Amino acid sequence: MGDKVKTVGEALVDILEANGVDVVFGIPGVHTVELYRGLAGAKIRHVTPRHEQGAGFMADGYARVSGKPGVCLVITGPGLTNTITAMAQAQQDSVPLLVISGVNARSSLGHGRGRLHELPDQRAMIASFALMSHTLLEPEDLPAVMNRAFAILRSGRPGPVHIEIPTDVMAKPIALPQPENPPVPRPRADIASVLDLAQRCRQAKRAVILCGGGAVSAAPGIEVLAERLDAPVVTTVNARGMFYRHPLSVPASPSLAAVRRLIADADLVLALGTQMGQTDYDMYADNGFPELPQTLVRVDIDAAQLARGPSASLPILSTVNNLVDDLLTELAEFGGEKIDAQGVLRALQAREAALAELTPKMRCEISILETIRETLPGAIIVGDSTQAVYSGNLYYEADRLHGWFNAATGYGALGYGPPAAIGASIAEPTTQIVCLVGDGGLQFSLAELGAAKDAGAQVIFLVWNNDGYQEIETYMIEQGIVPEGVKPSPPDFLKIAEAYGLPAVRLSDVDALPGALVDASRTLGPTLIEIHERKTRGATA
């Protein structure tokens, strides 16, 4: 059969569908309507946020939970610039995001004639941080460009990819060939590196494993390796939930002194899929993370990342899955006996000492997180930048993979939590999602309560209300600065929820939280619970 002739917009939808895309997030406009032409007849669901930043954050949450790229459709100019914050967050946290935008007609590009939504060079603007940014100038290039985009999204370190389509190209006819979905090679360590690491593992007496977000999919193999080496496993924020209640698990930040002592005392530190960035390893910017010139082995999918940050005595370019598989095979073939390195005791001591470092207020906030976990087993907690989330990033153990993620690390975008929670719910519609967000952060994305209602998202918006930006106010006071600009008045969130049709309750005592969570989980669609830091008994120590 010959190739089918369709418009570029229709062909784009076909290609997305052929690549497993089942949902797109976006707000249509006159500069993208031709891209919507094929959606009505497709199996792809369209979700409408209230702001394009919300579209990007929804796609981010969807991608983290589903494991598939999150896809956005946005207009040229303000639609794309509104999405930039979400793209930057995805770049920092290695989240696969495909943003397809419009751009003005080809004949107008670069001329500055004052066209609607015109930017001097929007592709160049995005190219400064995206893994790829491409302007589709010729209709027939669409299949090749999309193949390249998905190859990038599925191969190395994930991040944002951008394709812009001029308005005069969208409606052009294109002969669409049979869709291709070629296999994408994934990096694998050379045999010499595997043999070197295997020898180090056999000689190690006090190994420690560090797991970042790039290690999550290799959790079963890492568990076998950790038990083989009797090695405590420290999980960063994006890896929490990998080894729930395993005796070797240390769900605490490497920014804490107790965890740093555990790492400094090791004779082998195996860092798997972790950026080793400041917000995980040096949250307080005290430069106290130990130097590990001889003991550190880093495994990463990105060669550039291996060249940054702490220098490793053995850098290995590989997916964590491939490396762990190869290493376990090598260890089994040449002596598979387990090492007795008092790993369980070392992990226990690190956990207890790390928790003891935290302030009573932090421990109180962590106990609230644990109440959520125990009341709603298997729920996903999506966080914003708020005090209870900061405490959880220091010490909290989720009970499932992808059960804890937030924007209080890396790029640190405020307002991330509500739309990302909606995206997570769309990825797993039968799973209860809890969005932990402060009163300041929720006001960044307040209108997305309406998007949650429209989407039927099973999200409990748990609002941590302290009447302003208390984390910043505290920091200003500690620096001897008179606080200014940290008291934006919050609205009555219960009335806002009611306006959007969400059931809502304000707790007078934290002891009522389990019952409120159960009631909310039995409600179809989104709900809201407010805890006030000073007015809700038990919210602080």
The DSSP annotation for 444-491 comes to: HSTTHHHHHHHHT--EEEEEEE-SS-HHHHHHHHHTT----S--PPP-
In the chain, where the domains are located: 4-176, 191-353, 358-532
CB 47 within 8 A of CB 20: no
Structure tokens, 28: 């249509």
Residue among 427, 190, 166 nearest 323 (CA): 190
CB 128 within 8 A of CB 117: no
191, 195, 198, 204: CA torsion to nearest 10 = -140
SS3 label, residue 173: strand
Q: Give the least confident one: 17-26, 424-433, 482-491, 516-525.
A: 482-491
Question: Residue 461, Cβ neighbours under 10 Å: how many?
Answer: 27
SS3 label, residue 240: coil
Q: For residue 341, with 0-12 CB atoms within 10 Å meaning exposed, 13-18 middle and 19 or more buried, which class applies?
A: buried
* pLDDT for the residue 336: 63
Task: For residues 147 and 179, give the distance between their C-alpha atoms in angstroms, rounded to a whole number.
Answer: 9
- Can 191-353 and 358-532 be said to share one CATH topology? yes
Adjacent-strand bridge partners of 194 = none
What percent of the chain is modeled with pLDDT above 70? 98
Task: For residues 445 and 249, give the distance between their C-alpha atoms in angstroms, rounded to a whole number.
Answer: 35
Average pLDDT of the residues of the chain? 93
Strands 268-272 and 296-300: parallel
Question: Residue 522, Cβ neighbours under 10 Å: how many?
Answer: 8
Note the pLDDT tens digit of each residue in 138-149. 999 999 999 999
For domain 358-532, the question of CATH label 3.40.50.970 is answered with yes
CB 450 within 8 A of CB 418: no
Task: For residues 172 and 165, give the distance between their C-alpha atoms in angstroms, rounded to a whole number.
Answer: 11
* pLDDT for the residue 541: 74
* pLDDT for the residue 179: 67
SS3 label, residue 238: helix
Query: Region 242-254: what's the mean pLDDT?
Result: 97
Q: Give the least confident one: 15-29, 79-93, 328-342.
A: 328-342
Please provide the CATH number assigned to the domain covering 4-176. 3.40.50.970
Task: For residues 314 and 89, give the distance between their C-alpha atoms in angstroms, rounded to a whole number.
Answer: 29
Residue of higher predicted confidence among 308 and 393: 393
* pLDDT for the residue 1: 40
Domain 191-353 class in CATH: alpha beta
| Cβ-Cβ contacts under 8 Å for 515 (sequence gap 6 or more) | none
Given a cut of 50, whether residue 219 has pLDDT beyond it is yes
Adjacent-strand bridge partners of 46 = 24
Residue of higher predicted confidence among 279 and 357: 357
Query: Region 420-449: what's the mean pLDDT?
Result: 97
Query: Region 531-540: what's the mean pLDDT?
Result: 90
Query: Region 331-337: what's the mean pLDDT?
Result: 76
Given a cut of 70, whether residue 3 has pLDDT beyond it is no
Q: Residue holding tokens 């790229």?
A: 69
